[in-house]
A and B are shown apart, each in its own frame.
Chain A
Amino acid sequence: MEKIELTCIMCPLGCQLVVSKDKNAITVTGNNCQRGEIFGKEEVTCPMRMVTSSVKTSKGVKACRTTKPVPKSMVFDVMKEIEKLRLKSVKFGEVVIKNVLNTGADIVITAND
């Protein structure tokens, strides 16, 4: 059985969670509320992260983001996709990559025009 220690980030209490993982089940101990259990389970199964960065355009770099969180393990891959872009100009809210790496998330421009 695998045991992972985590600090819960759902509230300032910061419970020290122990997430135990075996073939059949994942159990969370050390949490004081249900949000801690959900957080603990998600962090060991499929942690998700929003990616923000900047795309390179001929008018300098422009801030961008994923429209929703992507698997944590894919963050650097998503960064590589963002790096591939060399755009002329972009507009606020413009989607510059659709469904990046099949994550279901788009890369959208967040910088002011």
Chain B
Amino acid sequence: MVTDVLVIGGGPAGMSSALSAGENGSKVLLVERDETLGGILNQCIHNGFGLHYFGEELTGPEFAHRFRKMVEREKNITVLTSALVTKLGENTATILCKNGVKEVKFKACVLSVGCKEKTAGNISLNGTRPMGILTAGTAQKMVNIDGKMVGKDVVILGSGDIGLIMARRLTLEGAKVHMVLEINSTSSGLKRNILQCLNDFNIPLLYNSTIFEVVGENRVEGVFYGQVDEKFNKIESTRKFLKCDAVILSVGLTPDLQLLPNIEKSKTSGLVVNEHYESEMPSIFTCGNALHVHDLVDNVALEGKEVGRYASLYAQGKLESGKTIKVLHSADFAYALPQTLFEGEGEVELKFRLKNKIVRKWIKVKSEGVEVGKRFVLAGVPGEMMTVKFSKNGVKNSVTLEVE
């Protein structure tokens, strides 16, 4: 098989980049490992999607549906579902699908494979491993796709957004969610979710707290939980027991780059990219949660659109690079993307996450001490990806993001 642009992963990032690559005149092969396009959106049946992209509030399946329809209408896109890319190199990939093991030659590739959830193993959850310990995403799939209850008495570990969403979902579907435990002193979840998913149902959110031990042989029978100190050491004197039959984990997401195990990853655990979201592996572009975990699917779709266009231009030999500008940041930031820019004209956008909450501050972009861009922030939190735009005219060597 031969294509101009190979898009790996048919979630919002992949569909969006396939669309934009197709609209830009490239032949696109969009490969999705599931039976249908949409990715994790299909199981996110709650609302809150699409306000930025479509200007109206949609549920996950509806957001996916709209993109799916657009993909179906785009003649330049060939969709291959139930297909897994098992190997990826420069200009060539191996796909395992119902037609066999296929080699695909491509001119450009968009890696939009999404992220994966951290597991009980990743956080070394102590105790036994009975049925009932599930990541929030797996629980979500079981409840929303299979229509099955994962537990009657539930504890949620971690206050990430999916955990909060699942607290509400399980409550509405008939379970008692006893508490959400958060090891940090703040939640990475959105304020709206804390209000509408926990406060609405009087579900307590305990900060600086975690599960000490899971108990149960066949199914979860309960947990010992309690508080931790600043170094996350368990404070044994606070140890309490709670009877429950399910432990839902919402302890973080990481880009799922199993396909490229030996490539160096950035602070986001995604690939290091330049202004065109092209990785250090020539011809491989990346976007969406495979690059950095987003809080809004709208931003994923927008990023996909941009990167699809770059990949398409690259495939057509029209993408111009230039001398490199390094993107640096102060310790106030968790990361900034892309990691490099190209010297030249025009406006560029940097994406970043803060390490701590800021109120009434300026985000400034400086080049060799000189301010080249800024943005006033009324309030910024680590849970929200933010952007700053600036003109790169005349900028050389490096830019640095700072908070003032």
User: Using a CB–CB distance below 8 Å, which chain A residues touch chain B?
Assistant: 6-9, 11-14, 32, 49-54, 56, 60-61, 63-65, 72, 75-76, 79, 92, 110-112
Considering the complex, which residues of chain B in the window 8-46 have a beta carbon less than 8 Å from any beta carbon of chain A?
A: 36, 38, 42, 45-46
A92 with B195, Cβ < 8 A, contacts A11-B378, A13-B359, A60-B147 known? no
**Other A-B pairs, 20, CB within 8 Å; known A7-B195, A14-B379, A53-B45:** A7-B194, A9-B191, A13-B378, A32-B378, A50-B47, A52-B47, A52-B59, A53-B172, A54-B45, A54-B144, A54-B147, A60-B146, A60-B147, A61-B147, A63-B59, A65-B59, A111-B45, A112-B36, A112-B38, A112-B64
Chain A residues near B190: list those with CB within 8 A. 9
Identify A61's interface contact among B38, B47, B144, B381, CB under 8 A.
B144
Residues from chain A with Cβ under 8 Å of B280 in the complex: none
B200 within 8 A of A: yes
B381 — nearest CB in chain A belongs to which residue? A12
Complexed CA–CA distance, A50 and B49 (Å): 13
Which A residue sits closest to B46, measured CB to CB?
A52
Provide the bound-state CA to CA distance between A63 and B146, in Å: 11
Q: Which of B358-393 contact A (CB under 8 A)?
A: 359, 378-381, 383-384
Chain A residues near B173: list those with CB within 8 A: 53
B47: A residues at CB distance < 8 A: 50, 52, 65
Contacts of A52 in B (CB 8 A): 45-47, 59
Docked Cα-Cα span, A43 to B38, in Å, equals 34
Task: State the CA gap A97–B379 with chains docked (Å).
Answer: 41
Contacts of A53 in B (CB 8 A): 45, 172-173
A46 vs B59: C-alpha distance when bound (angstroms): 23
The one of A14, A32, A72, A92 in contact with B191, judged by C-beta atoms closer than 8 angstroms, is: A14
Question: B125-151: contact bitstring with A at CB < 8 Å (1 yes, 0 no)?
Answer: 000000000000000000011110000
**Interchain CB contact under 8 A, A63 and B144:** yes
Given contacts A50-B57, A60-B147, A112 and B65 within 8 Å (CB-CB): yes
Contact B196 A112 (CB under 8 A): no
Q: Which residues of chain B have C-beta atoms less than 8 A from A63's C-beta?
A: 45, 59, 61, 144
Task: Name B37's closest neighbour in chain A (CB-CB).
Answer: A112
> Which residues of chain A have C-beta atoms less than 8 A from B305's C-beta?
none
Cβ–Cβ contact A12 & B380, under 8 A:
yes
A54 to B142, CA, bound (A): 12
